[in-house]
Amino acid sequence: MRAAPLLFGLVLLATPAHAAPRSEYVTMVLQAFAAKVECPGTDVVYQDLVQKAQEMQLPDGTTEQVRKAIAFMHTGGKMGERADDGVMREVAVATKTTDLDQKRLGMTTWCETQKSRLAGFIRAKN
């Protein structure tokens, strides 16, 4: 039984340190692009998403990888690129939670909420 705490500790050490922040980041990127599609007059500030990934100490290229994975999943593989299984799972979870939020709040309220939640990552189109 003494091996159980040791095994648990080893599992924690083997888990990528960037997994939790990356899933939060994937959700943020998905919601920014969803706002662009669903909320009239909204655009994504891509460079600020890249900067946020850097601040979160995510690997270079994470924003583009996530963007392509979202496009791949939401177009049935017609656009974007399939990412590794971890990113694809995170995109699937982010999609499901975003869909649930949109249904629960209604699209108008969801869009208004995103303006403050994602300030700096989305903006009004010029």
**Confidence (pTM):** 0.82
How far apart CA 94 and CA 101 sit, in angstroms, is 10
What span, in angstroms and rounded, lies between the C-alpha atoms of 79 and 91?
15
Which whole-number Å values give the CA distances from 125 to 22, 42, 95, in the listed order? Answer: 27, 5, 24
Burial zone of 59 (CB within 10 Å; 0-12 exposed, 13-18 middle, 19+ buried): exposed
Per-residue pLDDT of 43-67, as tens digits, reads 999 999 999 999 999 999 999 999 9
Buried b / exposed e over 79-97, threshold 16 CB at 10 Å, is ebeebeeebbebbeebbee
Closest of 30, 49, 44, 8 to residue 87, by C-alpha: 30
Digit-coded pLDDT (tens) for 60-86: 999 999 999 999 999 999 999 999 999
Q: Where are the domains of the chain?
A: 20-124
